[in-house]
A and B are shown apart, each in its own frame.
Chain A
Amino acid sequence: NAGVTQTPKFQVLKTGQSMTLQCAQDMNHNSMYWYRQDPGMGLRLIYYSASEGTTDKGEVPNGYNVSRLNKREFSLRLESAAPSQTSVYFCASSQTAYGYTFGSGTRLTVV
């Protein structure tokens, strides 16, 4: 089925470790996004890529980096994980403001 695929689904990291969250979409969308979701705080935008070759900071970018590898793939990297980055991470893609599709999330715990 067409959609947004995120890997891994679950991850436990130790403080200071690094990791990359992968995201791929097969809908030929131009724009891709990374959000984090924490209890009581809704979904907050970390980084986004309006089109291939561009990336911009969202609301909560500190501690993260992103790479728009090609039109399909948008990865999120944690260089030195901290307990405050324990969260559920969602990748999304869209062609217009009216057509967002989300992945099923990566549940990350930093101990």
Chain B
Amino acid sequence: TQLLEQSPQFLSIQEGENLTVYCNSSSVFSSLQWYRQEPGEGPVLLVTVVTGGEVKKLKRLTFQFGDARKDSSLHITAAQPGDTGLYLCADPPVGGATNKLIFGTGTLLAVQP
């Protein structure tokens, strides 16, 4: 079973600061997804990265997939209180009929105004 480790577990920062969170795997990812979960809600898909070395940007969020496809990072520039939430990486298995999604343990981010 693939293990997804995320770091840090908790992060509390001031509005306007930059931050990076990480997702590492014990084996190679076929692809990787990042989700954000706001308090009281279910996770919402932010991005899917597929190719080693790939970089995707979503406004102030930059997602990077490691060259060896065993790690990924999420960088937030000038964090805002609206960025507060639980950030989860997930490994969507390719092929078959199951499409089971395996999640990491998450990074809980609090952005103080």
Contact = CB atoms under 8 A, between A and B. Distances in A.
B92 A98 contact: yes
Contacts, number: 63
Interface of B: 9, 31, 33, 40-45, 48, 88, 92-94, 97-106
Contact of A100 (B9, B45, B105, B106): B45
A97 B94 contact: yes
Interface residues of A, number: 27
Interface stretch (A64-72, A76-84, A88-96): A88-96
A97 B92 contact: yes
22 contacts: A4-B42, A31-B97, A35-B103, A40-B105, A41-B105, A42-B106, A43-B103, A44-B103, A50-B98, A51-B97, A90-B43, A92-B101, A94-B99, A97-B31, A97-B99, A99-B45, A100-B33, A100-B45, A100-B101, A102-B42, A102-B44, A104-B42
Given A31-B97, A31-B98, A96-B99, 13 more contacts: A33-B101, A42-B106, A43-B43, A43-B88, A48-B98, A50-B98, A90-B43, A97-B92, A98-B31, A98-B48, A100-B43, A100-B92, A102-B42
A13 to B, nearest CB: 20
